[in-house]
Amino acid sequence: MLLQVRCALAASKIYELTRVPVKFISSNVNQDSFTVSYLVNSCGLSPASALLASKKVHFETPDKPDLVISFFKKHGFSQTQISNLVRKLPSVLLCKPGKTLLPKLNFFYSQGFSRTDLARILSRDPIILKRSLNACIIRNFNFYKKLIHYNDKIIQASKRHPGILYENFQSVEPVIALLREHGVPQLNIQDLLVSRPEFFRRRQDVFRKVVEKVKEMGFDPSKATFVSAVQALTQMSRSTWDSKWNLYRDLGWSDKEVALAFGRIPQCMMLSADNIKRTVDFYVNKMGVESSFLAKRPFLLSLSFEKRIVPRYSVFEVLSSKGLIQKGFNVISFFESPEKEFLKKFVIRYEDETPHLSKLYQEKLGSPRASCS
């Protein structure tokens, strides 16, 4: 690390360190060198990041930054979260915590944000802390409150896109008006605001063309699939769209089947190529499903491989090995059914024959690297 610090400092002509260990750099040697060493040793930044940050913040003693770091620790921020926050917003170290930070955190707490939620949001997008509480943060919160109504929904949206707490919301209003103009129900707009808040920050002219294109494709604006289709076409370039379309054709689907699948579950075109190939391979080679059948049930492709497919396949293997899979086994029901229904039909039902099955299933649900191989 010492060599990295020396190289970084020498490259920027800030200061040259020769034989002095970073942690013993004196605060009176040089303002910039002290700042860099503090950022490395107290904030956990890499030498390169510390060097960049030192160009935006300078201090000669640890008094102010120590207060800030102590403040964030008191409010549940981990060391990693503090490092991320400081790296993205170095000037925060010169804030007066009680005057500039605490009122903002208290507002969020009063609206239902937990310490855990807030630490994640602010370490991801600390620009929020630079914005005015009354003129920006509260104003934005109230704007989304009128649209979404529930604080917990706003918190969900903030966790997905922290920018809704400070970005100019005026660009959001025309998009909402356009969706309403085309007959999209308010409830669907609300759901989209929560699940994909960044979706509303599109250029209005481009967005209008996409909406009109989706209507031409036959999607019903009153259905949830309409906004899903708009989202898919908005997010993908033409080359990406063509690539996904051709991938499904390579997997044995006709153009008609690809169009059918997109019409039923637009999200199937937003899946990564690797995920599509892996999931289709699983259903075809592990479960014996015809590839073309998946075009009629594209929801099967949208299921999480790690959190749904792998854990349930572990149950299938056990039941199959014990001869408990009945004739006419319904693959669709097995993978698509809600959790409670699945447990009742395929786990609890066979507790006597397979007492370890429930434990195995729960273990697979908690395994981030589970596989079907």
- Convert the pLDDT of each residue in 98-155 to its tens digit: 999 999 999 999 999 999 999 999 999 999 999 999 999 999 999 999 999 999 999 9
Prediction pTM value: 0.70
What mean pLDDT do residues 65-69 have? 95
Give per-residue pLDDT as tens, 162-171. 999 999 888 8
Phi-psi region of 319 (alpha: psi -120 to 50; beta: other; left: phi over 0): alpha
Q: What are the start and end residues of each CATH 1.25.70.10 domain in the chain?
A: 2-132
Fold of 2-132: Transcription termination factor 3, mitochondrial (1.25.70)
The confidence score (pLDDT) of residue 372 equals 54
Average pLDDT, the chain: 86
What is the rounded CA–CA span in Å between residue 288 and residue 240?
29
- Decide: helix, strand or coil at residue 217: coil
For residue 325, what pLDDT is reported?
83
Mean pLDDT of 248-261: 93
Q: Are 251 and 280 in contact (CB under 8 A)?
A: yes
Confidence band, pLDDT 50/70/90 cuts, at residue 157: very high
pLDDT at position 30 is: 44
> Cβ(90)–Cβ(57) under 8 Å?
yes
Rounding to the nearest 10 degrees, give the CA dihedral for residues 240, 246, 247, 252: 160
CA–CA dist 362, 260 (Å, integer): 35
C-beta contacts of 315-324 below 8 A and 24+ residues apart: 315/346, 315/347, 315/357, 315/360, 315/361, 316/287, 318/354, 318/357, 318/360, 319/346, 319/350, 319/354, 319/357, 322/353, 322/354, 324/350, 324/353, 324/354
Percentage of residues of the chain with pLDDT beyond 90: 65
Q: What is the pLDDT of residues 169-226, one digit of tens each?
A: 888 888 899 999 999 999 999 988 898 888 887 778 888 888 999 999 999 999 999 9
Q: How many beta carbons lie within 10 A of that of residue 341, not counting itself?
A: 11
Alpha-carbon distances of 243 from 236, 248, 260, 273, 294, rounded to whole Å: 10, 9, 17, 9, 19
For 296-350, the pLDDT digits (tens) are: 999 999 999 999 999 999 999 999 998 888 766 788 889 999 999 999 999 999 9
Over 90: is that where the pLDDT of 292 sits? no
Are 156 and 118 a contacting pair, CB within 8 Å? no
Q: Could you give the CA distance from residue 17 to residue 243 in angstroms, rounded to a whole number? A: 53
Q: At what angle do helices 273-281 and 238-250 cross, to 10 degrees?
A: 20
248 to 202, 288, 291, 302: CA distances (angstroms): 28, 18, 9, 14
- Tens-digit pLDDT profile for residues 261-271: 999 999 999 99
pLDDT of 370 above 60: no
d(CA 176, CA 122): 27
Q: Give CA–CA dist 84/88, Å, rounded.
A: 6
d(CA 90, CA 319): 56
pLDDT single digits (tens) 23-32: 333 333 344 6
Predicted confidence at residue 367, as pLDDT, reads: 60
